[in-house]
Copies of this chain bind each other. A is one copy, B any other.
Amino acid sequence: MSPRVVRTVAGARRLRREAREAGRRVAFVPTMGALHEGHLALVRRARALGDEVWVSIFVNPTQFGPGEDYDRYPRDLEGDTRLLEREGVATVFAPAEREMYPEPPAVTVGFGGLEDVLCGASRPGHFAGVGLVVLKLFHIVEPDVAVFGQKDAQQAVLIRRLVADLDLPVRIEVAPTVREGDGLAMSSRNRYLGPEERAAAPALYRALQAGRRAVASGETGPAAVEAAMRAVLAAEPRLGVEYAACVDPRSLQPPAGIAGPVLLAVAARLGGARLIDNVLASPDGVHPETLSDLDRAGGFR
């Protein structure tokens, strides 16, 4: 059965009321469309957690900076909806920009500095825009559970913080990164890569693996782990490395010494694309896949 595609806030609220009255738990996957296997893995995780899956498709202008790829970001609602149909998605919420922002919003969301490090350092305003749109989507969809990808680790950390600090009545689940055969993390932006760039891209994941090996072999200094990652990235001259970081998965600051799980994260420009990737690394060599796995292992919060 084809998903119901709703374009308005009022329409989404109406469908949500029906689901509630039928006692159906809604699991929600917010996306910007241009769906790939990574998104579909989030949808499958959502299907396991709720009675019906809702997916939003909205290229949110407030999270793009000037000079970023808002205009050329790939949009294909029909193709996306076909993919979601195969996954048994109940509802696709695909509002127009005017529906989400009928006037410029006055309200802003901050994260006490968590939004200024890692990707936030080179994308000022990005996470404020993410926080705003996620709050709006949560208030419209009112999901019981929402699934985010580990791929966007900083986003996941911030959303979890948003939910905790604001007492949002939603459970957040972070699902594993899906990778190509050579390790490249799936991303809608991979389609910006030319063939030679595509061949160079797996260096990000190789760098993260080098970082994991350093942590598992007993390295306790975050700077040394970062150096191990940078050495791998430096071997690939096409990469314009933005950061290679070893940080606490909660504060996003480098730990004084590595005594438990850390987040290893990298970002680099490659041709016309900006690529990011990350893994969690544990000194005991049992590396959690996601922030949610870390929770369940009792290692976090």
Contact = CB atoms under 8 A, between A and B. Distances in A.
Contacts of A105: 112, 165
Contact of A107 (B9, B107, B110, B139): B110
Nearest to A100: B167
A15 interface: no
Contacts of A167: 9, 136, 139-140
Nearest to A162: B107
Contacts of A110: 107-110
Contacts of A108: 109-112
The residue among A13, A106, A108, A111 with the most chain B CB atoms within 10 A of its own CB is: A106
Nearest to A13: B169
A168 B162 CA distance: 15
Q: Can you tell how many copies of this chain the complex includes?
A: 2
A294 interface: no
Contacts of A9: 167
A285 to B, nearest CB: 30
A246 to B, nearest CB: 21
B106 A114 contact: yes
Interface string A153-194: 000000001100111110000000000000000000000000
Interface in A32-47: none
Nearest to A168: B139
A176 to B, nearest CB: 25
Nearest to A21: B23
Interface string A113-150: 11000000000000000011001100110100000000
Nearest to A106: B112
B136 A166 contact: yes
